[in-house]
Amino acid sequence: MSETLDVIKNRRSCRNFKQQTLPEELVDQVIEAGTWAPTGRGAQSPVIVYVTNSYVKRKLREMNAKILGKEDFDPFFGAPVILIVLADKNVPTYVYDGSLVMGNMMLAAEDLGLASCWIHRAKEEFDSEEGKILLKAIGIDNMNLEGIGHLALGYANVPAPEPAERKKDYVYYSED
Amino acid sequence: MSETLDVIKNRRSCRNFKQQTLPEELVDQVIEAGTWAPTGRGAQSPVIVYVTNSYVKRKLREMNAKILGKEDFDPFFGAPVILIVLADKNVPTYVYDGSLVMGNMMLAAEDLGLASCWIHRAKEEFDSEEGKILLKAIGIDNMNLEGIGHLALGYANVPAPEPAERKKDYVYYSED
């Protein structure tokens, strides 16, 4: 099996991260992988926000936990780095585009020995006034961006779980 | 650079395919890569449809070209295989889930020496009565599936183009 197929098959979502900070050159490679995702008509509708700032991480945790309906809960599972993907909703393919950025980053992370997990509720977060103020504080002026997802990124604190079985009716065939 | 990052960086969308049929074991690996995409709460909301059937391919071409507003045009660029991804819209994360399946398949294809292109308008296609009849004919009974995308898959008939430059404001930083 080739290395890439191996990475695709072995990637698991991680829900328990070490507090250890990450080498910047690894995170840079993860982010770069995200920027190479294909986008509808090459419009590059997404942006990636690299977050290690303690205040911003705390705000994200609070907003996300509130949407989830759980207080005193860290929806990012202690990850030292949060990568937020947002995409410009004026571009018809923006949700698909942003998702592919997330996908590339998850695979690059696995390939580099990092663990990750897609954390949802980014849409609700950045649709809110509080979320928009946070974006402005980060230096993002485009108010047409919709939250696509957060990637919690770090070193895994626990071994990767066994994968769940793939469902029986995943694939259909229409052959000659 | 590791092989996976290399695959991520070198993948280009292909818009000119050879008529040559594909070894089934390669397509199987592409499809399997799709099934390993993470999905929200592990719900595995997507399905993948493998299409080589001439009639179904012709119908897809017609429906897709019509939505695009171009007649006598092959929106799949002569690809011998079309992989359709649909996902169950009762699952809140279905669009993100289905997009990750598409992403995994594009990278697996590149890794295996195949070329691919995400062809959009699957939503409009399978929202239509004609599209739903086609799904039923293929053996798909779940009428809650929404079209996410088609992957045109084949051997490239032309060299991969140079990638467009990444936009300047792709990444923002919020650091301590």
Q: Give every CB contact of residue B38 below 8 A, 6+ residues apart in sequence.
A: A11, A13, A106, A118, B97, B100
Asked if residue A11 has pLDDT above 80, the reply is yes
B31: tokens are: 């499809």
pLDDT digits (tens, 9 = 90+) for B94-132: 999 999 999 999 999 999 999 999 999 999 999 999 999
Does B170 fall in a domain?
no
Asked if residue A49 has pLDDT above 60, the reply is yes
The Cα A123–Cα B8 span in angstroms is 26
A69: tokens are: 């309906």
For position B144, which CATH number holds? Answer: 3.40.109.10
Instruction: Tell me the shortest Cα–Cα distance from B69 to chain A, in angstroms.
Output: 16
Asked if residue A7 has pLDDT above 90, the reply is yes
Which residue in A has a C-alpha nearest to residue B170's C-alpha?
A: A47
Reference A50, options A24, A87, A88; nearest CA is A24
Does B168 fall in a domain?
no
Q: Give every CB contact of residue B13 below 8 A, 6+ residues apart in sequence.
A: A38, B116, B117, B118
From B35, B40, B103, residue closest to A120, measured CB to CB: B40
pLDDT at A10: 96
Asked if residue A1 has pLDDT above 90, the reply is no
Mean pLDDT, chain A, rounded, equals 97
From A50, A92, A174, residue closest to B50, measured CB to CB: A174
The rounded average pLDDT for each run of 10 residues, N- to C-terminus, in chain B (176 residues) is 90 97 97 98 98 97 97 95 98 98 98 98 98 97 97 97 95 96
pLDDT at A71: 86
Dihedral angle sign, alpha carbons of residues B141, B145, B146, B150: negative
What percent of chain A is modeled with pLDDT above 90?
97
pLDDT at B1: 56
Does A61 fall in a domain?
yes
Domains identified in chain B, total number:
1
Instruction: Tell me the shortest Cα–Cα distance from B118 to chain A, in angstroms.
Output: 8
Overall pTM > 0.90: yes
Does A172 fall in a domain?
no
pLDDT at B176: 86
Structural domain range at position A12 = 3-154
The Cα B152–Cα B87 span in angstroms is 18
Dihedral angle sign, alpha carbons of residues B35, A122, A159, A81: positive
Q: Hey, is A95 helix, strand or coil?
A: helix
pLDDT at B71: 86
What percent of chain A is modeled with pLDDT above 70?
99
The pairing of strands B171-174 and A46-51 is parallel
Does A92 fall in a domain?
yes
Does A167 fall in a domain?
no
Give mean pLDDT, residues A16-31.
97
Does B129 fall in a domain?
yes
The Cα B113–Cα A136 span in angstroms is 43
Does A171 fall in a domain?
no
Reference A166, options B89, B150, B48; nearest CA is B48
From B40, B96, B108, residue closest to A8, measured CB to CB: B108
